[in-house]
A and B are shown apart, each in its own frame.
Chain A
Amino acid sequence: GAVVSQHPSWVICKSGTSVKIECRSLDFQATTMFWYRQFPKQSLMLMATSNEGSKATYEQGVEKDKFLINHASLTLSTLTVTSAHPEDSSFYICSARQSAEAFFGQGTRLTVV
């Protein structure tokens, strides 16, 4: 199957700083990628849909200015958590679609201290 690589796997940052998470489709092109957030022992909640060459579509309640998404190429989407706060600590997962199937990255554990 197709491979989606997410980097970094985990990151610790200070409150007020920004963190960038990368999501790459390694062996296919993805015009659409998705960013999810997962709280401990909970399900995945869609944050936004990232579209190559255009603005991301955010789900209701997700702050666009806080979670900046850029999808500059067909194989790379980035999520930048700006001015991070401890409540942003979470597990972030990206996925990329190939045909009708979604492939997931391994996730990024973000801890804001």
Chain B
Amino acid sequence: AQSVTQPDIHITVSEGASLELRCNYSYGATPYLFWYVQSPGQGLQLLLKYFSGDTLVQGIKGFEAEFKRSQSSFNLRKPSVHWSDAAEYFCAVGAVNNAGNMLTFGGGTRLMVKP
């Protein structure tokens, strides 16, 4: 069964500083990998996804993530954080060739941004 671990429950960074949110997954084959952002009381917005090809993927709002198969990781990065980036971030893995395409989510990382 697939699983996702986000080791950091909370992260606080200063506005303008760089950001890296960690994500480790467990899956027996090539995974689909996703990062979502959730503002309080809202649904999830897709930031970026990895299916295949280039292991460095670019997303919206200046985010990027790098798929590292050897480390089973898909860390999310942003070079300069803005106050509006404060939210909850979820990493998710989807099964390849799964007709149901079920997503398994990590526990989430709450990002706080200091002025």
A interface, CB within 8 angstroms of B = 1, 4, 6, 32, 34, 41-44, 46, 49, 57, 91, 93, 95, 97, 100-107, 109
> What are 11 inter-chain pairs, A to B, with CB distance below 8 A?
A1-B46, A4-B43, A34-B103, A43-B90, A49-B100, A93-B44, A101-B49, A103-B46, A104-B36, A107-B41, A107-B43
5 more contacts with CB within 8 A, not counting A93-B43, A102-B103, are A34-B103, A43-B106, A93-B44, A100-B94, A102-B101
Q: Is B56 part of the contact surface with A, judged by Cβ < 8 Å?
A: no
Q: Count the A-B residue pairs with Cβ separation under 8 angstroms: how many?
A: 53
Q: Which of B72-113 contact A (CB under 8 A)?
A: 90, 94, 99-108, 110
User: B43 near A106 (CB under 8 angstroms)?
Assistant: yes
- A41 CA to B99 CA, complexed, in Å: 30
> Using Cβ atoms and an 8 Å threshold, which residues of chain B touch A41?
110
Instruction: Please report the total number of B residues contacting A with Cβ < 8 Å.
Output: 24
User: B108 near A100 (CB under 8 angstroms)?
Assistant: no
Give B81 Cβ to nearest chain A Cβ, in Å. Answer: 21
User: A44 near B43 (CB under 8 angstroms)?
Assistant: no
> Using Cβ atoms and an 8 Å threshold, which residues of chain A touch B106?
43
